[in-house]
């Protein structure tokens, strides 16, 4: 998809003939209000080089802060991330006059706000220097215009430059060492080695190669006085005249590779304007032209194309630049996942549709990381896995691809092996100070409880939220296992995918709703003191990660019929969602991923107009054009992809073929699915207030289900024709969306019986793990006293078990045999 730069004139010409969608893109969108978007130059979708300014203050995630002085313009950035800064490496800073010490962390202020458009960035510094930037995939172009008669033009290269942060817990980056060489012809090469960042990476080395257009005299500096660590290195280049252009490439493999990237992509005669034109052409051809609408409102077009831009910046396509010698150079390789936990809900399902080639490469890449390093990534940057916030999200992405028929060059046996590793082998500890209980590097740290107990006790951090995520991950394994005909595995993982239910406390109430996910204490009992409106610190060391019990309680999207059953009626479920989504209650945080799907869940009770009402309200009140337009960290474009799905009128249930239907923004939208296939979504009667579906045709046929499947509209393309109006109408009278883990006829379940069963089972499992840990006679004696309790429990369970699987189908035959086996074992040990 990345056309060779030599062929580009053709690409530019052919794209100029088309519409220029880049005019609608606001690169400053989401840079403020905690959105943390990177506004600098990204010369092509997923390009490794992201060239922009770096603020000289601490903890600026993407490097951009409009009001701080600038410490340099660097080639490497993330975008839209929270956590802690990463990169800000391979930089230059223009200077005037003599510089005594280029390694003294110089910085310059702006004369006015930066000016940028897709592919182009301009900063006017208050000393009169104007910096203009453009880029290809692996190299950046710097054009400096110096004011006349204000001192000699110079450029500082400080190898120790990076985005700083004083955050605790090893989250900040540091400079380990560097080297640099200048050559008589004025070019320079070298490498810097850095440490840390949000993913807790060990030392990583980046190599660079820079060339100037003008003749320079250079002076290298070594700062031997740097007290606490290896020596800083850098150089000052000085020039005659007022105009200097430079171009710099980087590589994770070698300086030669950095020079090769540079010379292949930006030649001695390439101009800044050439690069800008090429960037625009690439973005138009590869991204924007795939989504076309007849809409004329430029505010809405701006939101559409700016959102598409924001979700095509990360991950970075580092194919050919993986320094791991076990990696085959020709295999596709992607880095900078920030993180798959953020991306699996909305972004990757949209990438599948818009970028099928890239999507296949991405899947091969994460499987390749498993093959060469042991686990698929969740977060990853500087070629190092880290960190896992919830479960092993790559499993969800692989399942989504598998069930939607993605095959190509993917080795699905290896893919399934990677998933099984996630599901069965807990990763070794990585001693993350923020989550000391288990590895946060990759995989599923809390597997020991999940496998042995079927729930996660507070022995593990983030226990309740991880349980919900693990259930979804296991459902992903079920999907792939059943597709591959591995029926035994499929049964195992389907059963495990239901274990989110083991955290369900039917008695916990909050704001009039009864029944919530709760943590399970170390002894296995359900926490009774939970405040469902609060997640405490909501972070690494807490019971819930970044979302409240209210939010996680509706997150088992593969088993929603069970949740509705727990609620007892459609109305109770509807009330639960109303309370969750009512802005007054401040419960659903749409600036974070766990609530992405919640406004659409009314579809599961055929109250689709409420999904439309709530999701549209969120889209229109929490998102807006401009720097402050995102409700939270973009999270590598996750927020933008949520908004795009809202515009399209569908919501993907990752890991299932189901797309929930809501209501499209535009009267005519066409998505190019490749190979001549399109999804064409039209609507009549729509307006700002007429947003409700009155009727729908799918592929020309009247449609009364509030969902479509992959095969309906994506596999071979399709049409969806909406009639919209101002009234909420009960048009969705057809089959409910599938709830694939809630199979079996659930009517007639006696939930009291079921609860006795489940509690008995948990209780026994805990006694058993206590027994395994008995260290002395005292403990054994105390344990013996519970013999009677055990006998009682067994009797209780026996009493409540009528032996009729049909009556209590949620209690599986496996559960039944486990109960009798464990009871026997426990009683045996005590004899
Ligand atoms: C931004 O830069 C472009 C290209 O140099 C220029 O045409 C435009 O006038 C500038 N806009 C502002 C607001 O400075
Ligand atoms: C750079 O210096 C060389 C040798 O002095 C000269 O031939 C060349 O024209 C100069 N180039 C520029 C751009 O000034
Ligand atoms: C364009 O859409 C925006 C957002 O819905 C709206 O506020 C604005 O009034 C529309 N502009 C025109 C000219 O209709
Ligand atoms: C990723 O990069 C490689 C090497 O530059 C290129 O061959 C491939 O086409 C790129 N992938 C996409 C989807 O552009
Ligand atoms: C729910 O509350 C009832 C009445 O207080 C109690 O008997 C039952 O054991 C509780 N159930 C659970 C699962 O805590
Ligand atoms: C488990 O621990 C909690 C508090 O730590 C206690 O209230 C409860 O009674 C214990 N339950 C059992 C079954 O031991
Ligand atoms: C529950 O948490 C919320 C939010 O932190 C707080 O406002 C409320 O007072 C808490 N309720 C109780 C009963 O502690
Ligand atoms: C459910 O089972 C319990 C005992 O296990 C019994 O007391 C109750 O009456 C049953 N409820 C119904 C509706 O059958």
What secondary structure, in 3-state letters, does 183-223 show?
CCCCCEEEEEEEEECCCCCCCEEEEEEEEECCCEEEEEEEE
- The answer to whether residue 520 scores a pLDDT higher than 80 is yes
> Tokens representing 471?
């259930």
CA of 304 to the centre of ligand 3 (A): 13
Would residue 266 count as lying in a domain? yes
The residue whose CA has the least distance to atom 9 of ligand 2 is: 215
Of 109, 644, 573, whose CA–CA distance to 347 is shortest?
A: 644
Phi-psi region of 385 (alpha: psi -120 to 50; beta: other; left: phi over 0): beta
Report CA(345)–ligand 1 centroid distance (Å). Answer: 38
- Residue at 185 is within a domain: yes
Kindly state if the Cβ of 528 falls inside 6 Å of ligand 6. Answer: no
The total of other beta-carbon atoms located within 10 Å of residue 225's CB is 9
* Ligand 4 near 361 CB (within 6 A): yes
- Whether the predicted pLDDT of 790 surpasses 90: no
Q: Tell me, using a 6 A CB cutoff, whether residue 751 lines ligand 5.
A: no
Nearest-CA residue for ligand 2 atom 4 is 215
CA dist 815 and 736 (Å) reads 29
> Does the pLDDT value for residue 777 go beyond 80?
no
Asked if residue 115 has its Cβ within 6 Å of ligand 1, the reply is yes
Q: What is the pLDDT of residue 750?
A: 47
> Which ligand is in closest contact with the Cα of 505?
5
Ligand 7 atom having least distance to the Cα of 532: 1
Residue range 423-436: average pLDDT?
97
DSSP string, 709-757: EHHHHTSS-EEEEEEEESS------SPPPP-GGG-S--TT--HHHHHHH
Closest protein CA for atom 14 of ligand 4 = 1
Is position 306 within any domain? no
Q: Atom of ligand 2 at shortest distance to CA of 213?
A: 13
Cα–ligand 3 centroid distance for 297 (angstroms): 6
Question: Does the pLDDT of residue 264 top 90, yes or no?
Answer: yes
Atom of ligand 1 nearest to the CA of 122: 2
Can you read off the two tokens belonging to residue 565?
């059953």
**Residue 620 falls within a domain, yes or no?**
no
Spatial distance between the Cα atoms of 262 and 188, rounded to a whole number of angstroms: 12
**pLDDT recorded at residue 24:** 98
> Closest ligand 5 atom to the C-alpha of 505?
13
CA atoms of 224 and 231, how far apart (whole Å): 6
- Within 6 Å (CB) of ligand 8, which residues are found? 750, 752-753, 756, 800
pLDDT digit string, tens, across residues 139-198:
999 999 999 999 999 999 999 999 999 999 999 999 999 999 999 888 999 999 999 999
| 317-375 residue pLDDT tens | 999 999 999 999 999 999 999 999 999 999 999 999 999 999 999 999 999 999 999 99
Best residue among 115, 119, 123, 133 to mutate for probing ligand 1, ranked by most atoms within 8 Å of CB: 115
Structure-block tokens of residue 110:
């702006």
- Kindly report, residue by residue over 521-550, the tens digit of the pLDDT: 999 999 999 999 999 999 999 999 999 999
pLDDT at 763: 62
Question: What is the number of the ligand closest to the CA of 356?
Answer: 4
Q: How many domains does the chain have?
A: 1
Q: How, if at all, do strands 232-239 and 216-223 pair?
A: antiparallel
For helices 347-354 and 638-648, give the axis angle rounded to 10 degrees. Answer: 60
- Ligand 6 center–CA 129 separation, angstroms: 68
Where in the sequence is the domain holding 27, given as residue range(s)?
Answer: 22-291
User: Does residue 111 form part of some domain?
Assistant: yes
Is residue 117 situated within a structural domain? Answer: yes
Q: Which residue has the higher pLDDT, 12 or 216?
A: 216
Closest C-alpha to ligand 2, atom 3: 215
pTM of the model: 0.90
Q: Which of 307, 342, 198 is nearest to 633 (CA)?
A: 342
Classified as helix, coil or strand, 561 is helix
**What is the torsional sign of CA 366, 367, 369, 370?**
positive
CB 183 within 8 A of CB 204: no
Mean pLDDT to the nearest integer, 780-786: 55
Q: Note the ligand closest to the C-alpha atom of 117.
A: 1
Query: Above 60 in pLDDT, residue 17?
Result: no
List 153's β-bridge partners, or say none. Answer: 96, 239
Q: What pLDDT, on a 0 to 100 scale, did the predictor assign at position 733?
A: 97
- Read off the pLDDT of residues 618-641 as tens digits, 9 standing for 90 and up: 999 999 999 999 999 999 999 999
- For residues 456-464, average pLDDT: 98
Dihedral pair phi/psi, residue 325, rounded to 5°: -70, -15
Say yes or no: CB of residue 521 within 6 Å of ligand 6: yes
CATH number of the structural domain spanning residue 55: 2.70.98.10
DSSP 3-state assignment of 578? helix
Enclosing H/E stretch for 779: helix 777-785
In the numeric block, the tokens 């409240």 are attached to 548
Question: 526 C-alpha to center of ligand 6: Å?
Answer: 9
Alpha-carbon gap, residue 175 to 167, rounded angstroms: 15
3-state SS track over 362-399: HHHHHHHHHHHHCCCCCCEECCEECCCCCCCHHHHHHH
Give the closest residue (by CA) to ligand 8 atom 4: 753
pLDDT in tens, 805-826: 444 434 455 655 666 665 565 5
User: Residue 358: CB within 6 Å of ligand 4?
Assistant: yes
Cα separation, 517 vs 502, in Å, equals 9
- Of all atoms in ligand 4, which is nearest to the CA of residue 286? 14
Over residues 548-599, the pLDDT tens digits come to: 999 999 999 999 999 999 999 999 999 999 999 999 999 999 999 999 999 9
Query: How sure is the predictor about 779, in pLDDT bands with cuts at 50, 70 and 90?
Result: low
Q: Is the CB of 357 under 6 A from ligand 4?
A: yes
Distance 531 CA to ligand 7 centre (A): 6
Please tell me the number of the ligand nearest to residue 751's CA: 8
* CA proximity to 90, closest of 210, 177, 1: 210
Alpha-carbon span 607 to 771, nearest angstrom = 50
From 748, 750, 758, mutation site for ligand 8 pocket: most ligand atoms within 8 A of C-beta: 750
pLDDT at 141: 98
Averaged pLDDT score across all residues of the chain? 91
DSSP state of 21: G
538 CB near ligand 3 (under 6 Å): no
More confident residue, 445 or 763: 445
pLDDT at residue 419 is higher than 70 = yes
| For the CA of 616, the nearest ligand | 3
Q: Hey, whose CA ends up nearest to atom 12 of ligand 4?
A: 1
Residues paired with residue 721 on neighbouring β-strands, in sequence order: 682, 697
Distance 215 CA to ligand 2 centre (A): 6
Q: Which two tokens stand for residue 174?
A: 């540091």
267 in ligand 3 pocket by Cβ < 6 Å?
A: no
Residue 175 lies in a domain: yes
Q: Is the CB of 322 under 6 A from ligand 4?
A: no
401, burial (CB in 10 Å: exposed 0-12, middle 13-18, buried 19+): buried
Identify the residue with better confidence: 311 or 229.
311
Question: For the chain, how big is the Rg over CA atoms in Å?
Answer: 28
- C-alpha–C-alpha distance, residues 259 and 210, integer Å: 8
Q: Is residue 390 part of a domain?
A: no
Q: How far apart, in Å, are the Cα atoms of 356 and each of 352, 475, 525?
A: 5, 24, 46
- What pLDDT was estimated at residue 754? 56
Q: Which residues line ligand 2 (CB under 6 A)?
A: 214-215
CA-nearest residue for atom 5, ligand 1, is: 122
Contact 806, 745 (CB under 8 A): yes
Count other Cβ atoms within 10 Å, centred on residue 430: 18
Ligand 7 centroid, distance to 540 Cα (angstroms): 20
């Amino acid at each position: 998809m990345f056309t060779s730069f030599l062929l580009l004139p053709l690409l530019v010409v052919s794209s100029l003939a088309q519409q220029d969608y880049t005019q609608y893109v606001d690169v400053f969108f989401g840079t403020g209000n905690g959105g943390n978007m990177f506004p600098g130059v990204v010369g092509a979708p997923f390009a490794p080089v992201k060239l922009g300014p770096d603020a000289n203050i601490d903890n600026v995630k993407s490097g951009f802060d409009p009001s701080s002085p600038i410490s340099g313009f660097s080639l490497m950035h993330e975008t839209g991330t929270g956590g802690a800064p990463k990169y800000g490496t391979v930089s230059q800073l223009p200077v005037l006059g003599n510089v005594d010490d280029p390694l003294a962390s110089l910085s310059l202020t702006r004369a006015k706000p930066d000016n940028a458009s897709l592919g182009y960035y301009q900063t006017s510094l208050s000393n009169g220097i104007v910096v203009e930037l453009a880029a290809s995939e692996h190299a950046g172009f710097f054009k400096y215009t110096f004011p006349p008669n204000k001192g000699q033009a110079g450029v500082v290269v400080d190898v120790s430059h990076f985005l700083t942060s004083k955050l605790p817990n090893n989250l900040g980056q540091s400079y380990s060492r560097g080297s640099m060489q200048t050559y008589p012809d004025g070019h320079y090469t070298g490498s810097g080695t850095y440490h840390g960042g949000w993913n807790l990476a060990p030392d990583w080395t980046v190599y660079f190669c820079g060339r100037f257009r003008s003749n320079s005299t250079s002076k290298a500096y070594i700062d031997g006085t740097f007290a606490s660590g290896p020596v800083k290195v850098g150089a000052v280049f000085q020039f005659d005249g007022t105009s200097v252009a430079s171009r710099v490439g980087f590589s994770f493999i070698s300086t030669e590779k950095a020079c090769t990237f540079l010379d292949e992509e930006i030649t001695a005669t390439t101009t800044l304007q050439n690069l800008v034109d090429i960037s625009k052409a690439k973005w138009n051809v590869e991204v924007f032209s795939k989504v076309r609408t007849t809409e004329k409102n430029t505010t809405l077009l701006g939101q559409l194309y700016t959102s598409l831009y924001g979700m095509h910046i990360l991950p970075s396509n580092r194919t050919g630049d993986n320094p791991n010698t076990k990696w085959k150079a020709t295999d596709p390789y992607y880095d900078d996942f920030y993180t798959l936990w953020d991306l699996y809900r909305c972004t990757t399902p949209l990438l599948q549709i818009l970028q099928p080639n890239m999507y296949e490469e991405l899947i091969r890449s994460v499987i390749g990381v498993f093959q060469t390093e042991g686990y698929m990534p969740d977060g990853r940057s500087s070629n190092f896995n880290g960190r896992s916030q919830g479960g092993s999200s790559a499993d969800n992405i692989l399942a989504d691809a598998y069930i939607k028929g993605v095959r190509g060059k993917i080795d699905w046996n290896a893919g399934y092996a990677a998933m099984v590793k996630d599901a069965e082998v807990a990763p070794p500890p990585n001693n993350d100070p923020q989550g000391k209980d288990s590895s946060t590097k990759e995989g599923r740290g809390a597997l020991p409880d999940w496998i042995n107990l079927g729930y996660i006790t507070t022995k593990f951090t983030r226990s309740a939220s991880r349980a919900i995520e693990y259930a979804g991950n296991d459902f992903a394994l079920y999907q792939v296992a059943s597709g591959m005909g591995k029926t035994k595995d499929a049964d195992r993982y389907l059963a495990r995918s239901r274990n989110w239910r083991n955290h369900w406390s039917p008695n916990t109430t909050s704001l009039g709703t009864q029944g919530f996910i709760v943590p399970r204490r170390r002894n296995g009992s359900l926490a009774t003191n939970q405040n469902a409106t609060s997640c405490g610190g909501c972070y690494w060391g807490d019971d819930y990660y970044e979302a409240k019990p209210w939010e996680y309680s509706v997150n088992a999207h593969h088993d929603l019929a069970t949740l509705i059953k727990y609620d007892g009626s459609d109305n109770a479920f509807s009330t639960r969602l109303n309370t969750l989504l009512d802005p007054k209650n401040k419960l659903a945080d749409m600036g974070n991923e766990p609530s992405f799907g919640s406004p659409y869940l009314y579809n599961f009770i055929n109250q689709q107009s409420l999904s439309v009402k709530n999701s549209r309200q969120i889209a229109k009140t929490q998102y807006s054009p401009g720097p402050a337009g995102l409700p939270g960290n973009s999270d590598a474009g996750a927020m933008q992809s949520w908004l795009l799905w809202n515009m399209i009128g569908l919501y993907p249930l990752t890991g299932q073929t189901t797309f929930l239907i809501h209501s499209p923004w535009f009267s005519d939208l066409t998505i190019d699915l490749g190979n001549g296939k399109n999804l064409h979504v039209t609507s009549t009667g729509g307006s700002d207030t007429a947003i409700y579906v009155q009727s729908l045709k799918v592929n020309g046929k009247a449609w009364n289900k509030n969902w479509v499947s992959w095969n309906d509209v994506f596999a071979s393309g399709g049409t969806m024709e909406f009639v919209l109006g101002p009234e909420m109408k009960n048009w969705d009278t057809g089959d409910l969306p599938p709830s694939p883990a809630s199979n079996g006829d659930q009517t007639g379940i006696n939930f009291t019986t079921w609860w006795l069963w489940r509690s008995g089972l948990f209780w026994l499992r805990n006694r058993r793990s206590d027994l395994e840990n008995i260290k002395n006679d005292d403990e054994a004696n105390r344990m013996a006293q519970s013999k009677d309790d055990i006998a009682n429990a067994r009797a209780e369970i026996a009493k409540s078990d009528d032996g009729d699987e049909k009556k209590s189908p949620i209690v599986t035959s496996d559960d039944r045999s486990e109960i009798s086996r464990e009871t026997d074992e426990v009683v045996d040990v005590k004899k």
